[in-house]
Structure 1
Amino acid sequence: MKRACAATVATAAAVALAAGMTGPASAKADAKSEQQRMTSAAQKLKPAHRITLITGDRVAVDAKGRVVGLERAAGREKIPAQIRKADGHTFVVPADAARLVSSGKLDQRLFDVTELNKAATRRSQQKGLKVIVGYSGAATATKADVRDAGTLRQTLKSLNADAVQTPQKDTPELWDAVTNGDRTAAGIAHVWLDGTRKASLDKSVPQIGAPKAWAAGFDGKGVKIAVLDTGVDATHPDLKNQVIAAKNFSTATSSTDKFGHGTHVASIAAGTGAKSGGKYKGVAPGAKILNGKVLDDTGSGDDSGIIAGMEWAAEQGAQVVNLSLGGQDTPEVDPLEATVNKLSAEKGILFAIAAGNSGPETVGSPGSADAALTVGAVDDKDLLADFSSTGPRVGDGAIKPDVTAPGVDITAASAKGSVIEQEVGEKPAGYLTISGTSMATPHVAGAAAILKQEHPDWTYAEIKGALTGSAKGGKYTPFQQGSGRIQVDKAIKQTVIADPASVSFGTQQWPHTDDTPATKPLTYRNLGKTDVTLKLTATATNPKGQAAPAGFFKLAATTLKVPAGGTASVGYTVNTKLGGTLDGAYSSYVTATAGAQTVRTGAAVNREVESYDVTVKHIDKAGQPTGEYNTVLFGYAGLGNGRGYQVPTATTGITTMRLPKGTYLLDGWIAKDFTKPDMGGEGLDWVVQPKLAVTKNTSVTIDARTTKPADITVPDAAAKPLSATIDYLYDAPGIGIGVILDSFANLRMAHLGPEVTGLSQTWFGQFSKGAGAEYDAITTAKVKKIQGDKVRHFKASEFATVTNRLGSGSPNKTGGLGVIAFLPEDVGFGALVEQALPATRTLYVSTGEKVEWFLDFTQFKGKDAQGFPVPEAYYTLGNSQKVTPGGKYTRTFNTAVFGPRLLSDYGVFRDGNNIYGTIPLFADGAGNPGSSEFTSVTTTLYRNGQKVGTNDDPLFGGKAFTVPAGDAAYKLTTSVKRSVKVAQASTRIDASWTFRSKKPGVDGAQLPVSSARFNAAVGLDNKVAAGKKATFPVVVEGAARGSNLKSLSVYASYDYGKTWKKLTVKNGKITVVNPAKGAAISFHAKISDKKGNKSTISIYNAYYGK
């Protein structure tokens, strides 16, 4: 049984709403390769992606996956939120969800922004949030509410659960259905993310002894193996007539295998080898295949689809199920693990499941399930594959995997035209060779089918015991190989098994000087008809892989008689007192032999490192114990270094945890009644102890009565709070903790423990100054303690004034300005305020602390069903900028002339044999790069006059053209159109570039292309005075800029390019007659540089007359 343990967490600075923000992480750019520069530039061309949480709140993330905003759902504006980071994952957890996460009722993956932002998850969730809701009992009313909030995708009877997909607009309704304040609604047992799992990618069959099993008459005949994978190509000669049933549980349109993984797996398990004359015959060619397509045509699938596939396999009478798939394991029992355990126990099905392909200590789920026969991979010399996931299991340190099997360079059937076949190719025809625990697993599934044929009355546990017990041991520990590599030729002769197949002694608490020996029975089951006497021997290893001290593991006897049809047990004792000073995971093998028969059993114990009890007490403002808290500890020195612990919730407010000796940062919240719109008058009490030394049993009290208010004020009493964030960075351990609220009025803080060095604080406050202005104030300082009684009063002289002119692409639009403050060691975010366009918005920004300010602008096209504004155009400053006290600055966004921009990070790039462009084709008249919605895009590349290809990439860098390595002449053309509903100006951009190129070095190359900017003086409505003359610069950018320019020709058109009039370019300027009222002018430029590269730019409807 897996036990829950505290999840590892860490916290970074919290952020406020910053819609559309994709600013640079720093104002200073490092040296980059051309590929890095192209990628960096592309990330600035698109607004932030929004991820809708189950609460209805939306998290904005930029192209690098960084959290850059939090947009609260209606009625949730005052609920505080935490942002935490750990192991490369970022969690955004609103306070009303935090208690449910720490109680285990709510899957923390629902708030794992990194997971939710993965391509496979985004693809799976694109039509709405997918969850699995588990019920306790009938829960009739709650179940109806859940189903009303979304679309019922699957009813998962084995879990008493529903798989539901809820459109983003309805997530608040789903949240209301599954919760009651900060508790789950009546009848709700669990709410899980319906996550995604991926496929875990001639000599191998003889290697495990299958031909000897065939010779004995056992090839799996009469046994059904369910292959739950990407589908099976039943037309392949090796699988023809093998597939007896098929069903699609994925989002693909059919059960056909277009990815190629499932066909390969199925043929390893039960392929006939017909196409190869038997050379590539599977392990159990007499078995039949149930084709359950649970992974789509990209190799990914939802948890609910996989569970539904398992239930279908059970209904179809499968005796063996192969799952060559998996995902990251957690300490808790997830829905896939629960289903494996339940169906194994109730239906007698053996589940052979891949361990995973991520190396040490990464056994994945559902292979982590207790009942699973979990499979690692070895090569043809029985050497453990470097990719094969090993244990111990997350949470309880149990032994996983259970066995290994061949999984390196395995040749099996190919699904013609599939993704994998296209990637690796067939050799020989009809077959392909790939590696992974995915390939090892069907060897075990086939072996299980052979045993099931031989012993149709055996249970799944007995088959599992025979395969593990008869395995061939290697030079590895049980955590690496389980019992060893399977030997089906031995297994078919096996009559004695260990029950269970492995033994865990759990954790022996420190100190170990007073440890008493612990004994567990090793039970052997004799499935034969004659008594068997076993000879028993044991070997043991310490955490370093060396021999454990003598007597650490000890058998009570060296022989054991097991009666026919019965069981017998021998005591196996572990004495952790004998480990000396070396703590950690110890493991052992007990080998039982009787004639030619051998049974190998793994055993393990965790000799706890020096650890102590830490008791955390929570007291509310009234002096009463409270369970309304969310507290975590972060280890940054000693044995707990790099580990985090969530303090479980308790109604008594008191929790005791076991922590390794070390130094920790404690971060505790008490937030009562925060689900009420007015915060219930309680607000948030935040208590932090940056240095908690755990060198003995320790007690800590988080007392809300000790907290004091923190605040920022600005020199205008009428200014109203918009957002407030505070974060602390602790330099030495590199830990950050943060909180975001609607205002400082709802926050109180306190410091616990000794003062520290290396602690820095950043406070950011944003205040509304009427409809068209705001204050943005940020302060940072090195401090020795959390300053709960600190108030920072800003003076008028500390601000600069930034006047922002915001254009309107078309009438009746709204927009907003995002604000980011960059500090040398931190960053602050402001809230975006939506307002009617065109407009002027004035920012009063603070100037101290070496701050640099970054701005971006988003034009909206209305609101979605939740009331959130929907972006349609986006522009950003190229870099953050410094301002000075009293300084006055003007910035302009979203005005004509919109056209291509070529700065150092923008252009056409070549990476190896791939050519692609990253150019903001609709940069605004102020030169701000960005993008807008398009109606059509056509981009084409020619090589030596021959078309290479065409795509619909508006030069965002998303689609590359692959070309030969040799030098050649190229022409890249693009034509992009946008609707007048988005912008009446620059409704069409045409461009072409000619240049020569060959394969560059490893850093890639920026190719010589140019563009022209038309710097006309245009109003915020993108119009000019009709009929008047106007003179303005034409600026050449890119390869032909400055002294590299050979020629520039400019043309104007008043009839959308039907006729063009050449203009005189004098001193870099042109003179035109403005178009008539309601009419537009278009521009065309031809550019040549001194190296012979040519560019043309056409901008249609550049601006209008009025």
Structure 2
Amino acid sequence: MRALINGLLAAALAAGTLALTPAAHAGPANAIPRASSAGSVPGPAAPPPATGGPAVPKVRGQVTLITGDLVTVSESGHRAEPGPGRTVDFHTQVSGGHLYVIPSDALRLVASGVLDRRLFAVTQLLTWRYGDADRSDIPLIAQGAAAAPRSARAVRPMGGLGLTALRVPKQEAGRAWQELAAPRALAAGRGKLWLDGRREFTLDRSTAQIGATTAWKQGVTGAGVTVAVLDTGYDPSHPDLKDVVSHAKNFSEEPDVSDTFGHGTHVASIVAGAGEKHRGVAPGAKLAVGKVGGQQGASDSAIIAGMDWAVSEAGAKVVNLSLGAPDSPGLDPVEQAVNTLSQRTGALFVVAAGNSGESSPASSPGSADAALTVGAVDREDRVTAFSSGAPREGDHAIKPDLTAPGQEISAALPGGGHGEMSGTSMSSPHVAGAAALLAQLHPDWTGARLKAALTGTAAPTAGVSPYRQGTGRVDLVRALGQRIVAETDGAWAAFPWDGPGGRTATKAITYVNTGESPVTLDLSAEGEVIALAARRVEVPAGGRAQVTVTIDATGKAPGDYPGIITARAGETVVRTVAGAYVEPESYDVTITALDSQGAPAEPWAQVYHPESGAFRDLVFQGGEAKVRLTEGDWRLHAEVREDQARITIASTAFTVKDATSRVTVDARRGRQVRSELDDPTAERGPAYQWSLAEGGWGASMVSMRGGIGRLHVIPARRPGLRYAAHTSWFKKGATPSPYRYDLVDRRDGEIPEDPVIMGRRRDLTTVTAVYRASGVAATGLEGSGPVIPGWLMNTTTPNRDRMELPATITHHRTPGFDWTGALVVGAMALDDPVRRARSGREEWNVAVSGPAFASGGEGRTGDASRTGDRIAYTAGPFFSDGVRGRLGLDDAATGTIVLSRDGREIARADLAGCGRRPRNCRIGAEVPAGEGDYTLSTVFRRQVAHSALSTSVESVWTFRSGTTPEERPLPLMAVRYAPGGLDSHNRARAGSLVRVPLWVERNPGAPRSAVRSLTLEASGDDGATWRRVPAVRTGDGWTALVRSPAAPGFVSLRATVKDASGAGVTQTILRAYAVR
């Protein structure tokens, strides 16, 4: 809603907003090597979305970006608003299930890799509760002084890793961005800035399954070894963990190391639990528990700080990380920390592979080279369906490294009991415990040696690819008993299609004999591309022997070639993963851009693969961009912007055939977009928008100034291409204009040669819109715009003029499209649902203005919900008018929220500026476990120049609630009214009988429960006295007849509702409508 308030009122000053929304699948580079950003976009792999439009995000809310700009996500789409003093475009894309909104002045920094793309993943930020309703700062991790703005607050350095966790207050974001975007800061490549993101915790017979019981019988229990568990804390009073934890420290935002989630206690007891029945893998080891998060996950900076503490202060030899996030090309801060600390300290980091199944790569930081990454098997050593295992992002290397039990694992839970959990979170501590046992036997071994010993001795599951299981299920009997360890920097190669060195690589495996007798190993290789220099090698006692491995993919088709090298000597078996990835046929393509004068240009541009849906951002320097693309058909979509005076849109089809492939975008070929209307009294307005889409890719822009004449398009014709443009017309010399024309030109299969947006009055629909006043004269600004599903055109453009209310505007619109609208009056904003363009009448700012709930259940239920024993509530649209589906709030209103249980107050919050500062209008409170009777009351009051009505709006909800296993919406209700017969000031005639239809709305996602009773009361003296008014059931609501006072004044309304579940609300609106 804030985007409506600020965006429309600032429309005359705003340069425009750009919403470029590729709905395609993200196409990251197949980086070779993994740490490089160079590489190819995947070729055909999966069909693009059928509609060509992005999925509506399942969250809603407002997010202040690091640039100071604001993005609002709602059920119907999103709006982006430039921060104060900024004139930028907004590029958006849907990738990995999340919506990214990137301001144009951040694009180059994101593309170059110095600015974390996740800083603009608005739906991810909302999911992580980084939105404006949940926190007032932006959490960051900076590398280098240039990435740390002066307005940021340092919260923790991270162990000599060159990283610092920062927090930038959102009100300072614009100023911070000016520092970051300065020529000598990030733009000069001096440092890097990440979002301090979150990682999820990747949720009796298992110890015997891996051979731990055999180790115990031999006296190997992990004694003398410290294992760090970085998780959700632990239960210090649990019998299984008594006297087990030697170090504990809290790195989370919660108050102490106590485990309120259960995950950390469970994981810790799998490693080293001391219970008789539920004994951990290494019951003699000591635990260092670092609490790095809770139910909402763990921040990257907390994880890194915990890792450093574990190895530098707590003395941990092994560190367990049962957490992760989707992997991406390159190295993120946590992956860097795993690699750096492993090398620096000799510790072993054991990491869960993730629970996304066989089609997903191992999660981060399990994707780090140094990590010992663990997948999950069931009790029969079958790889579980949830265990992640697919080629690693970038080089397609094999992860996980091995597997361990992870299905229905029984272990300790907070409160002294035990319970079963499943996930690679449970597999990882099995291996961490196994590493502790091995470290007891070999205290001088490094983490790399421990990793090699565990992976080399794992027991494979027959017929299962190494991508799913690595070398197999951890086998402690072999790991503790064998004396041969295979060490290698990696017997894996990634070959570019046309690399200068061909497709042959030489690797080495060193076999280390820790025993007292020489061992002769027979070697064999499974895999199409693996060749061994020797089939037999002798490893001397206490010595080592090296074997050369040739990875030869010459003549092989593009794809993955995983394999295993096995060394045998009697009962001794050592396995090492090996193989290659061959890139699809790909070439470096040069793309040139010229402006309308033929000079080099630096446009925003993307290449898009129409079959797979893969796309890539391009970065131009000196009018050229280079990108590596797979052979075949591609599309180039570009926007050449020239000092706000001219924008040229291009969409070009091209074919990549060989290394000579080149593409040129030439703005000189652009045709000016015009608009024509057969009404000589009208003139074009300053706002316009365009949309372009093809397959799963789409882009749109809305501009608030300059008019449609700024826009130029380069004609194109091909199947599947879709183009649309929209502009408005108003009456010449009339302020405000009594009418508005909204004209749309939509084309299938082409960007037109003659781009004219044509309007003929006889062909247009006509809607008479009445904008009421609320008892006093006021100034308002309306906005409207077309909604084209899959075309990404769903943004309102403001009227040229403000209007004095009450007012009437006649809207003439191109038929065949849906439309959305908005109205701002003072600090109050109303947002209309999508409506079909048909002739008729609509009314705005209709009494009664009061509480409402959004239709549908796709928004984040956290707006009013209970999760476990925490209740969260954000005051919503308390000033919605009397039209179904329409939502509104008033930023000038103030008030209070109070939450009580069994008559005792638990939490209270003051309300002010809920549109601009939703965090100010939210409570979040820990409540007692178990069932209880709750009262949640919210009251807004306003004394404003733009309205004499709804001066006090109060809802008092009562409901019963108990501990929940997951987030559940609260059973809140709102009563809405639409009194008939009121005039344009929302006034009834004195003494008249007013027919008042009313209906009940519910919190989205809350259980449906029939209304058992509804009582309505009215007052003519601002609530001093009340009289009951009968309400009769009609359709899906009720109807009441309310007698107006005999003298001018106001009518107040109070409704009391009870449903079948026992939940209820008493809603009181003072001065609901006026009387004249």
Amino acid at match of 1:727: S
Distance 1:115 1:825, change over 3 A: closer
Distance 1:695 1:326, change over 3 A: same
Deviation of 1:703 (Å): 3.2
Among 590, 602, 605, the alignment partner of 2:565 is 590
Partner of 2:979: 1014
Q: Distance in 2 between matches of 1:351 and 1:768?
A: 66
The CA deviation at 1:239 is 1.0
Q: Which amino acid aligns with 2:377?
A: V
Among candidates 53, 61, 66, match of residue 49 of structure 1: 61
Q: Which residue of 1 aligns with 2:320?
A: 322
Q: What is aligned with 1:614?
A: 589
Alignment of 1:133-282 (within 5 A): 133-135=142-144, 139=145, 142=146, 146-180=148-182, 184-185=186-187, 188-273=190-275, 278-282=276-280
Q: Which residue, 806, 818, 822 being the options, matches 1:856?
A: 822
Q: Displacement of 1:875 after TM fit?
A: 3.9
1:433 corresponds in structure 2 to 420
What is the rounded CA distance, in whole Å, between the counterparts of 1:68 and 1:1017 in structure 2? 34
Counterparts of residues 678-757 of structure 1 (less than 5 Å): 679=644, 684-690=647-653, 692=655, 698-712=661-675, 722-730=686-694, 733-742=695-704, 743=706, 749=712, 751=714, 755-757=717-719
Structure 1 residue aligned with 2:115? 106
User: C-alpha separation between the residues in 2 aligned to 1:52 and 1:330?
Assistant: 24
1:481 aligned to which of 459, 465, 469: 469
- What is the aligned partner in structure 2 of residue 1074 from structure 1? 1045
Relative to 1, partners in 2 of residues 1:694 and 1:829: Cα closer, same or farther, differing over 3 Å? farther
Report the residue type matching 2:299 in the other structure. Answer: D
Pick aligned residue for 1:576 from 542, 545, 553: 553
Q: How far apart are the structure 1 equivalents of 2:596 and 2:427?
A: 59
Aligned to 1:496: 484
CA contact (8 A) 1:808 1:838 kept: no
**Cα distance change, pair 629–338 in 1 and its aligned pair in 2 (3 A):** farther
Give the aligned partner of residue 558 of structure 1: 535
1:463 aligned onto 2:444: no
Deviation at 1:262, TM superposition (A): 0.6
TM-score, length basis structure 2: 0.79
In 2, the alpha carbon distance for the partners of 1:6 and 1:50 equals 35
- Please list, as runs of the form range in 1=range in 2, the aligned pairs for 1:342-491 lying within 5 A after superposition: 342-360=340-358, 361-416=360-415, 430-475=417-462, 476-491=464-479
Amino acid corresponding to residue 121 of structure 2 in structure 1: D
Partner of 1:930: 887
Structure 2 counterpart of 1:643, one-letter code: A
What is the CA-CA distance between 1:881 and the residue it aligns to? 3.7
Q: Please give the per-residue CA displacement for 1:754-785, whole angstroms capped at 9, x wherever unaligned.
A: 73023221112357877655856342322544
Q: Structure 1 unaligned runs (5+)?
A: 16-23, 26-38, 417-428, 541-547, 673-677, 862-872, 912-916, 960-970, 995-1003, 1040-1044
SS of structure 2 residue aligned to 1:1029? coil
Shift in Å, 1:197: 0.8
Q: Deviations over 1:183-238 (max 9, x none)?
A: 72557321111111110011111111112222333222222211111011122111
Letter in 1 for 2:847: T
Partner residue of 2:813? Answer: 847
**Alpha-carbon distance between aligned partners in 2 of 1:457 and 1:740, rounded to the nearest angstrom:** 65
What SS is found at the alignment partner of 1:359? coil
Counterpart residue number, 1:636: 610
Inter-CA distance 574–566: structure 2 relative to 1 (3 Å threshold)? same
Q: CA separation of 1:690/1:974 partners in 2, compared to 1, >3 Å: closer, same or farther?
A: same
Amino acid at match of 2:100: F
Corresponding residue SS for 1:99: helix
Q: Which AA in structure 1 matches 2:93?
A: R
Equivalent residues of 1:59, 1:67 under 8 A apart: no
CA distance in structure 2 between the aligned counterparts of 1:406 and 1:1064, rounded to whole angstroms: 65
Query: 2:635 aligns to what?
Result: 665
What's the CA shift string for 1:479-525, capped at 9, x where partnerless? 1111111112221234332222742111252799x966443223333
CA distance in 2, matches of 1:508, 1:1087: 68
Give the 3 Å change call, closer, same or farther, for CA 709–222 of structure 1 in structure 2.
farther
Amino acid at match of 1:269: V
The answer for the alignment partner of 1:979 in structure 2 is: 941
Counterpart position of 1:895 = 847
1:440 partner amino acid: S
Deviation at 1:603, TM superposition (A): 1.0
Alpha-carbon distance in structure 1 between the residues aligned to 2:61 and 2:729: 26
Match of 1:334 in 2: 332
Paired with 1:295 and 1:1007, the residues of 2 have a C-alpha distance of: 30
Please say if 1:301 is aligned against 2:315. Answer: no
Task: Give the deviation of 1:1017 after TM superposition.
Answer: 1.5
Distance 1:176 1:391, change over 3 A: same
Alpha-carbon distance in 2 for matches of 1:399, 1:190: 28
The residue type equivalent to 1:486 in the other structure is V
C-alpha change, 1:6 and 1:880, in structure 2 (3 Å) is farther
Q: CA deviation at 1:321?
A: 1.0
Deviates more, 1:737-746 or 1:262-271: 737-746
SS at match of 1:385: coil
**Superposed CA offset, 1:896-936 (max 9, x none):** 47588999999xx9x9xxxxx99998653455643547846
SS at match of 1:117: helix
Cα deviation, 1:818-872, whole Å, max 9, x if unaligned, reads: 42323476434224579989735665645224123222335564xxxxxxxxxxx
Q: Which runs of 5+ in 2 are unaligned?
A: 1-32, 43-47, 866-872, 912-920, 925-932, 960-968, 1002-1010
Please state if 1:763 is matched with 2:737.
Answer: no
Corresponding residue of 2:285: 287
Partner SS for 2:241: coil
The aligned amino acid for 2:845 is F
Tell me, in whole angstroms, the C-alpha distance in 2 between the residues paired with 1:495 and 1:771.
90
Shift of 1:1082: 3.1
Counterpart among 491, 515, 523 of residue 536 in structure 1 = 523
| Change in CA separation of 1:564 and 1:706 when aligned onto 2, cut-off 3 Å | farther
Residues 40 and 586, structure 2, Cα contact 8 Å, conserved in 1: no
- Partners of 1:516 and 1:899 lie apart in 2 by 67
Give the residue type in structure 1 aligned to 2:303: I
Aligned residue-pair number: 964
Residues 977 and 178 of structure 1: CA distance in aligned 2, closer, same or farther (over 3 Å): closer
Q: Tell me the equivalent position of 1:966.
A: none
- The answer to whether the 8 A contact 2:820-2:835 is kept is yes
What is the deviation of 1:563?
A: 3.6
User: Which residue of structure 1 aligns with residue 618 of structure 2?
Assistant: 647
Is residue 901–residue 1011 contact of structure 1 (8 Å, CA) maintained in 2?
no
Deviation at 1:153, TM superposition (A): 1.9
Out of 189-198 and 351-360, give the one that drifted further.
189-198
Rounded Cα–Cα distance in structure 2 between residues aligned with 1:1013 and 1:599: 78
Aligned pair in 2 of structure 1 residues 219, 1013: CA closer, same or farther (>3 Å)? same
Superposition pairs of residues 948-1027 of structure 1, within 5 angstroms: 977-981=939-943, 985-986=949-950, 987-988=952-953, 1013-1017=978-982, 1020=985
Change (3 A) 1:1094 1:150: closer
Amino acid in structure 2 at the alignment position of 1:821 = P
1:282 deviates by 0.8
* Pair 409,702 (structure 1): closer, same or farther in 2 beyond 3 Å: same
Q: How far apart are the structure 2 equivalents of 1:357 and 1:244?
A: 30
1:959-1008 per-position Cα deviation (integer Å, ceiling 9, x unaligned): 9xxxxxxxxxxx999976431347753435679999xxxxxxxxx9x999
Q: Do the aligned residues in 2 keep the contact of 1:620 with 1:703 (CA within 8 Å)? A: yes
Q: Given residue 234 of structure 1, which amino acid in structure 2 is its aligned partner?
A: P
Q: Secondary structure at the match of 1:283?
A: coil
Aligned mates of 1:266, 1:1065 — CA distance in 2: 60
**TM-score normalised over the length of structure 1:** 0.77
Residues 1103 and 450 (structure 1 numbering): CA distance in 2 closer, same or farther, change over 3 Å? Answer: same
